[in-house]
Every structure is written in structure tokens, then in C-alpha cells.
Amino acid sequence: MPGRVTSDHGDEANLLEAVAAHRDRAAFARFFELFAPRVKGQLMGRGLSAAIADELTQEVMLTVWRKAEQFDRHKGLVSTWLFVIARNVFLNHHRRQHWPEPDALAAETTPPTPPEALFLLAEGEHHVREAMRELPTEQRETLDGAYYRGRTLRELSEEQGIPLGTVKTRVRLGLARLREALTGAPLGASAGKKAQS
Amino acid sequence: MTAAATSHHVPEEHLLEYVAGAGTEAAALAMACHLSLCPSCAALARDLETMGGAALDPSRAQPLASGTLDRLLARLDEGERDVASPRDAHGAALLARWGIPSSVARYLPSGADARRWRRLVPGITRIDLRVGPASTVARLVTLTPGIEIPLHDHDGTEYTVIFAGALHDEEGRFGRGDISIREAGAAHVQRVEKSEPCVALVINEGPLRPLTWKGKALSFLSRL
């Protein structure tokens, strides 16, 4: 199973690299088949109609075509990269918002992720998906509200008629589970985690 | 100056909102500035993005309308005109001089004149940023060492990210990279550390409500 997960990630990364290096349309078409339906599913989760989600999915995939050379398999997963692009396209086109991104931290503070960590990250993503399904319903629905529907915690508390503090607790408990699934593997995928003050 | 020294971080739920694209652009700007200077929160945000990638779940995929891929392939060549925003050397230099992350650049007002530090009240200069909606006030400020910002409250959330110098309030010392998030109803007094001027991003998502006569004077003057 782990082998399958990582070779999947390797294949996905190969497709993006083929697009970046040779403007490979066949690789792009394959990438589209793999990911466009997932992007559309998430856009519809954010409340868009199927027709508008189709349009925005095309914008997301055009961005993939244009920015493929910015993907770096040594820095993270294909799905993570795509998630950020899809989020930004949604906010840009649908809410007319730019979404500011942090400056890359100075090289000495962000060591490149070692290959074995990426291996574990790809596995971790798989575990996160499983863990997400196994969360208690109220935690799953709350995290879903943020990740899938793009709601703030305040909006979720109003929607569900529960106190903001309860929503925060559910988020923290749920994220702790997911983080465990993501980094529960022997080598933590992210360095320098710290308790929040 | 090292980023690792940050001691006031973003609560995880705010990071989640930022990563998920929820909330306001102004709040996102404050997050981006903190993440630019805080390796530990940046690592947390990357984890949250990885979890977001996992939420692109094949089991919830929706098929695209037939012919979408063909239409898209036909558009690929048209698409190479990625409109790069013109490089703003003046803005970049301004931000670099004060150690301010470049995420702020697109919100700077245009024109050299609007980018001068202007006096807000004695001891405070500011450059107003353009971040919607209209009820949001977003500013870069410089604060004279040793001054006190009188007791005030907000009708919306207040975000402060420090780029130089330090501020103190009852939650402690806020230095470079630190972020303070105050919900409406959390009145506070802030004091600028004596050693050097403080440079910060301050975002108020609702009008300021001064609670003392000194604060009222400040609020009156700040509207001029």
C-alpha cells in the first residue's frame, strides 16, 4: 500500500514536470482527468453551481498549465500545490479577492524536505483522508465547513447554532487527529512545530 | 531580527481559516505577514495545506461537462499571456527599508506622495493601505519610542503585526514577527518600548472605540 501511494505521487509529479519541461499536452490531459473532477467537487462544496464550477475548474487547470514550472516535488505534494491554486482561483474569480501569501522564509529557516519525508507525506495524505472519514461526525462537519465549504468558524457557529467556543474546540480536536494521521509516521513531515500560545 | 524569536503566534483556528480561504482579505494579509516571519506557524500552515490537499478527495469528485477538456485544450495557447503585474521598485524599496514582508506591496497606495509617512497624531505616523471592505482600516504605522496608545476597544477584530521595535500590553511583549489578534470587546492599552521606534501593520475590521478622553482625542484626530 505505501508503495502504491508514493508511486502515485511520483506519477502525478511526473505529469506536472512533463508539462513544465515540454508543454506536454498529453500529460496535461492526463492530469486534468485525474484532478479536475476533484477540484470541481470542492468548488461545488463551496456553493457554486455545476456550470460555474466547470468554468472555474477550467481556470484552475489553465493556471496549472501556466505555472507548472513552479511546482517542486521536493517541497511538497501535488495535491497541496493544487489545493492552494484552486483556493486562490476561487477567491479571485468568485469573490474578487486577492489572497496574500507569505514571503518564502529565508533558506536557512526552511530546509528542503528530505525525500523520505516526502514519502511519508504522501502516505500521510492517504492517512489524513482515512482519519477524516473516521472523525466523530461533529468534528468532521466542522472541518468540512472550513476546508470544503470555505466558512469561517464564526459562520459555522451561526449556521449550526452552537457557541463559537464549541466550534473552536471541535476544530482543535479534529485537527489534532488529522495531524497525528499526517505526521504519525516515524519521521515528522514538518519541522519546528511548537505549542500555540 | 531573527524570525525564530517570534513568541506570539496565530491560534490554529485562525490559521485554518487563512489556509481554507475563509474570512477577509485584511485578516489574510495579517496572517501572511506573520507567516513570512514565523517559521513555526509557516510549518503549521503547510501541514494545514497538506490536509486541504487531502480534502481534494477522489470520493467527492464531480464529473465535468462533456467536452470541457477539449475546450480547455483549445485555450492553452491563448493562455500564455500571464499578465505579470508591473514591478514596483519604489514600493519594494520602501518595504525592504522597514523590514516589511512583500505581501504588503500590492496594498500600498499608488504615487510617491501617498506613500510618505504622515502624522496621524503626535508620536504616530502612518501610510494607509488599500484593503477592502470600506469598514476596514489597514495601516502601516511608526510609533515613537515610549509613547502609550490609550485604552481603546473595537467594533471588529484588530490585527497587529510587528516589524520593528516592540509593543507591550497586558499580554506581554510583542516584537518583530509577533501578531496580536483582538476580538471586539477586548479593550487594551499599548505601550511602545523605549529602545527604538516600533513599525507595525495595524488592521481594524470595525471602527475604533476610544474609552478615555485621551483616546477620544486620538480618534478625533485620526479622522483628519
> Which residues on B lie below 8 Å from A35 (Cβ)?
56
Last residue of a domain, one of B28, B63, B79: B79
* Min Cα–Cα distance to chain A from B220, Å: 31
> pLDDT tens digits for B207-224?
666 656 666 666 655 554
Number of domains chain B is built from: 2
Would you say residue B110 lies in a domain? no
Domain of B53 in residue numbering reads as 12-79
Last residue of a domain, one of B27, B57, B79: B79
Would you say residue B128 lies in a domain? yes
Last residue of a domain, one of B79, B104, B136: B79
- Are residues B141 and B189 located together in one domain of the fold? yes
Q: Which of B17, B50, B56 minimises the CB distance to A38?
A: B56
For an interface test with A, which of B15, B16, B36, B163 has the most A Cβ atoms less than 10 Å from its Cβ?
A: B16
> Which residues on A lie below 8 Å from B12 (Cβ)?
171-172, 175, 196
Q: Quote the ipTM score.
A: 0.85
Would you say residue B98 lies in a domain? no
Q: Which residue of A has its CA nearest to B99?
A: A103
> pLDDT tens digits for A13-53?
999 999 999 999 999 999 999 999 999 999 999 899 999 99
* Min Cα–Cα distance to chain B from A49, Å: 12
Phi, psi of B203 (to 5 degrees): -125, 125
> pLDDT tens digits for A120-159?
777 778 888 888 889 999 999 999 999 888 899 999 999 9
The enclosing H or E element of A32 equals: helix A25-45
Average pLDDT over residues A165-181: 92
- Are residues B75 and B124 located together in one domain of the fold? no
> Which residues on B lie below 8 Å from A129 (Cβ)?
54, 57
Inter-chain touch A152–B17, beta carbons under 8 Å: yes
Mean pLDDT of chain B: 86
Please determine, for residue A190, whether its predicted confidence score (pLDDT) is greater than 50: no
